[in-house]
């Protein structure tokens, strides 16, 4: 879920309707998909990896909007309400 990026790039943390970062304890699910620079960087990294390693496939399962859906009663907050 890109947690390593959040320390260096806090703008990637999704913002809830209340204006606060969407966090679940130590966890953040998803990234702010309004951050176009990050999306372009991620796409470039994926394309580079495809060219260099020619994998059979890639798994994009966790490039999603924010929400904590891996529980019996998922918390799917609306996001992102950041200034971007």
Segment 4-29 shows an average pLDDT of 78
- pLDDT higher for 30 or 49? 49
pLDDT of residue 44: 96
| Domain range annotation of the chain | 1-84
pLDDT at 1 over 60: no
Segment 47-57 shows an average pLDDT of 95
Selection from 35, 8, 31 nearest residue 21 by Cα: 31
Distances (CA, A) of 30 to 14, 20, 40, 45: 7, 15, 16, 18
| Top-ranked range on mean pLDDT: pick from 16-25, 49-58, 72-81 | 49-58
């Amino acid at each position: 879920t890109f947690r390593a990026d959040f320390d260096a790039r806090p703008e990637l943390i999704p913002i809830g309707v209340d204006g606060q970062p969407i966090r679940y304890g130590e966890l953040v699910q998803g990234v702010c998909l309004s951050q176009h620079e990050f999306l372009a960087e991620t796409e470039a990294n994926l394309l580079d990896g495809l060219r260099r390693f020619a994998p059979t496939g890639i798994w994009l399962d966790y490039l999603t909007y924010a929400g904590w859906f891996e529980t019996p009663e998922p918390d799917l907050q609306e996001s992102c309400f950041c200034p971007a």
